[in-house]
Chain A
Amino acid sequence: MMKMLTICQAEMRKSHRHNFNNRLIYFSMFLWPIIQFINAYYAFKPFNLGQNSPLSRFVPVNKLGLFLITGCIAYIFFWSLVQSAWMMGYERQQGTLELILLTPASRTLIMFSRAAANLIEAVWMFSIFAILTIFFMGGLHIAHWWLLPFAVMVLLLSAVVWGGFLNTIFLFSRDAGFLYTLFEAPMEFFSGVRMPIMAFPIWAKVIAFVFPLTFVLTILRAIVMDGKTLGSICIPLIELAIILIALTAASFILVRYAEKHAKETGNLTFF
């Protein structure tokens, strides 16, 4: 436990100094998500959003703002981790990745600590904005007060697991940059950030269920918009748990495999 905290602290300090050195980054961390949100909001505006419009079957038109901001915040959480995983390439180039593997520290722990450290740094500003917006917009409908921190925990935990998994994948290949493009638009679209997945055709639903973000969003929205109780969301919760466990297990296995592969081929020095 102590070890875990130490490694977490190490990663946090490092990424704070390394990635958040420049004040401008805070600007972009804050502004970019807001633009995303506004963009999404006004994209819906031109449509007829009356009670009997076709869209209203899927989008809760009276709570469009809340629907989009929950989508945005969850998306930012997940997206920031794709970006942080991309930084693994830098560590490889700089040779520090090799030095990390020279230490006895648990590799999986490093992968997940790194995700946690970067996540907190990257999302706190937008989170405050989102909370304030929700507060002023109103329309929250929550069954029990404690479901709110519960929802936040689910979001945080899933994002960290997702981030740890991505870090692991980037550990593998210097060409993992392709994942960056692979994830950017699809994750936003297929996870139902702007459109509920219910509105998707079957093939798109199948893709949607690959991203844990899909389940996180379902749970988050059920809790904050529909006032669902724990009992009524247990199915998506279980589904999410299964995906998270699978991702964690996969990370464990992949980290080991990546290190073994690196030991055989010496590919860590390639960049």
Chain B
Amino acid sequence: MLEAKHLHKSYTLKEKNGWLSRRKQQIKAVNDLSLTIEKGEIIGLLGVNGAGKTTTIKMLSTLLAPTSGTISIDGINAVKQPELIKRRVNMIAGGERMLYWRLSARENLMYFGRLYGLNGNTLKQRCRALIDKVGLTEFADRPVERYSKGMKQRLQIARGLINDPDYLFLDEPTLGLDAPVARQLRVLVKSLAKEKNKGILLTSHYLEEVEELCDHVSIIEKGHLLLQGTPRRIIQTIVKDRSLIVVMKTLDKENWHWLKQETDKLGIHAQKKETNEGTRVDMKATFDMTSSFLALAQKRNLQLIRFDAKKPNLEDAIIRLTEVHD
């Protein structure tokens, strides 16, 4: 298990304010953040630009030292014994940097593998297996500069797996990828957690990605934790306006009156509209109305043509949260 407790990170900015004098300024990038990652679990870290996601990932991967707070990974203190931690973790960032462009995929992997102390046949086999795994077999010996964005990103993932880490930190891994390629990557990430039992931390700006992949989500803002929970819980607790749209072939006056009364009792705000599809009823409430409405419809045997429960997404949730806190 990875446990980070009360992490703080401040950067010192030196600003010139004169010919020689400099003013020091502290930037709090991460402010009292705690999180845990179990093996086999995918944790999402969300926040707007500059919220401190990358800083957090770099602290967990020992590239940055926290100003205060502790990180322990499977019982090892990551701040005091980074050499031990480096064998068990790896980090993958989105984008096209962080590869040797003139080297081929295989050469890149061989180089980093050697830095992890692998050599000989073990290294060769692992490189081959990883290249196959990320689907670069055909291009393995071509220089990276001729790869597409998606191919570079897949190579990044292979590189991040070269030391067979127990914990993997992904910083916007699908940055700039188109939908099908991003989907492939998501499948891969999911299988790493569920089949290979790796603990994964993921930051992303694509919210459906986090919703689809993550078991738990932490939302941070200006370096501190706003909310932690399953993606569903988070949506439930924050997003107040849920909507339900149903269309019926016909809805007579009596039934409509009855429906209006019943929904009012439940705290649902309902509105009727005639459309060429049929009679449409728009409902709004602060909770999930699906089951209550279906029970009502059954009582009066209302024939539904269309039934749309609009699921609020994390984006709404975050926007709402940051609005509340501003």
Do A and B associate with each other? yes
Is there an interface contact between A17 and B102, defined as CB atoms closer than 8 Å? yes
Is there an interface contact between A266 and B110, defined as CB atoms closer than 8 Å? no
Is there an interface contact between A98 and B98, defined as CB atoms closer than 8 Å? yes
In the complex, A181 has a CB within 8 A of chain B: no
Is there an interface contact between B91 and A95, defined as CB atoms closer than 8 Å? no
Q: Which residues of A contact B134 (CB under 8 A)?
A: none
In the complex, A23 has a CB within 8 A of chain B: no
Q: Which residues of A contact B107 (CB under 8 A)?
A: 13-14, 17
Chain B interface residue count, Cβ-Cβ cutoff 8 angstroms:
35
In the complex, A133 has a CB within 8 A of chain B: no
Contact segment of B111-119, B271-279, B318-326: B111-119
Q: In whole angstroms, what is the CA distance A6 to B117 when docked?
A: 7
* A 87-129 to B, binary, CB cutoff 8 A, 1 in contact else 0: 0000001111011111111000010000000000000000000
Q: In whole angstroms, what is the CA distance A180 to B225 when docked?
A: 46
Q: Which residues of A contact B83 (CB under 8 A)?
A: 104
* B 276-309 to A, binary, CB cutoff 8 A, 1 in contact else 0: 0000000000000000000000000000000000
Q: Which residues of B contact A3 (CB under 8 A)?
A: 117
Q: Which residues of A contact B101 (CB under 8 A)?
A: 94
Q: Which residues of B contact A266 (CB under 8 A)?
A: 11, 55, 58, 63-64
Q: Which residues of A contact B64 (CB under 8 A)?
A: 263-264, 266
Q: In whole angstroms, what is the CA distance A266 to B58 when docked?
A: 9
CB under 8 Å from chain A, chain B span 90-107: 90-91, 93, 97-103, 107
Is there an interface contact between B116 and A103, defined as CB atoms closer than 8 Å? yes
In the complex, A52 has a CB within 8 A of chain B: no
Q: Which residues of A contact B98 (CB under 8 A)?
A: 94-96, 98-99
In the complex, A39 has a CB within 8 A of chain B: no
Q: Which residues of A contact B102 (CB under 8 A)?
A: 17-18, 21
CB under 8 Å from chain B, chain A span 64-83: none
Given contacts A13-B107, A104-B117, A96 and B86 within 8 Å (CB-CB): no
Is there an interface contact between B114 and A264, defined as CB atoms closer than 8 Å? no
Shortest A255–chain B CB gap in Å is 14
9 contacts between A and B (CB under 8 A): A10-B111, A17-B107, A94-B101, A95-B97, A96-B98, A103-B163, A104-B83, A104-B87, A266-B55
The 4 lowest CB-CB distance pairs between A and B, nearest first, are A10-B114, A95-B98, A103-B115, A95-B97
Binding site for A on B (CB under 8 A): 11-12, 55, 58, 61-65, 83-84, 86-87, 90-91, 93, 97-103, 107, 110-112, 114-119, 159, 163
